[in-house]
Chain A
Amino acid sequence: ETGVTQTPRHLVMGMTNKKSLKCEQHLGHNAMYWYKQSAKKPLELMFVYSLEERVENNSVPSRFSPECPNSSHLFLHLHTLQPEDSALYLCASSQAPSGGGTDTQYFGPGTRLTVL
């Protein structure tokens, strides 16, 4: 595997379910990100981890719970979601969150989440 991978690619869940999204990066990066992408809206940054420490939490509802067990893996635990949470959830990684130069973020293919 190369780059950034995400599983599952598609997920349908009820509002009372508990599920987890998984992200893995094979780039040796130090920072990982969760974004929410809704149709015709800008990417919304949800969480940032740098060296496994959470450095950003943009007022995300507590029904979304991130976990970063090591610098290569990132999870997003979901529980009691609402239909408006249906969106594409993208994971990204970069060398460092506040690095100089380009510090380009590389994205995974996303998980298309539908909440019924």
Chain B
Amino acid sequence: GQNIDQPTEMTATEGAIVQINCTYQTSGFNGLFWYQQHAGEAPTFLSYNVLDGLEEKGRFSSFLSRSKGYSYLLLKELQMKDSASYLCAVRDSNYQLIWGAGTKLIIKP
């Protein structure tokens, strides 16, 4: 079957750096997405990786290794507003998105 694994919850300190990992086993691969979802709100698109390597976008970066079935989302200079759930999703060979259960990130002052 298809599977996306990510930690259920993480805690970090304001101003610090946190890395949220995602491993996947899917039928084919056509890109990996990261979304941010604040409580009670819509998931919002953060990043897309289809080739190996690091994509940087401001304080957020996303890394992909297709051979390892692995990605991470790196958040720098953490702010209280970064407290949210972070969802990893992989697009499979049928172009369907397979979703992880999300990582709840708690930022402490």
Contact = CB atoms under 8 A, between A and B. Distances in A.
Contacts of A43: 43, 87, 89, 97, 99
Interface in A86-114: 90, 97-99, 102-110, 112
Contacts of A108: 42
The A contact surface, by secondary structure, is loop
B101 A104 contact: no
B97 A107 contact: no
Contacts of B96: 45, 56
B100 A98 contact: no
B99 A42 contact: yes
B45 A90 contact: no
B39 to A, nearest CB: 11
Contacts of A56: 96
B44 to A, nearest CB: 7
Nearest to B95: A98
Nearest to B31: A102
A4 B101 contact: no
Interface string B56-75: 00000000000000000000
Nearest to B42: A107
B48 A109 contact: no
B13 interface: no
B86 interface: no
Contacts of A102: 31, 33, 48
16 contacts: A4-B42, A40-B102, A42-B100, A43-B87, A43-B97, A43-B99, A90-B42, A102-B31, A102-B48, A104-B45, A105-B97, A106-B45, A107-B35, A107-B44, A108-B42, A110-B42
Given A42-B98, A56-B96, 5 more contacts: A40-B8, A103-B95, A107-B42, A107-B43, A107-B44
In the A-B complex, the 8 residue pairs with the closest CB atoms: A107-B42, A42-B99, A98-B95, A43-B99, A102-B48, A109-B42, A107-B43, A42-B101
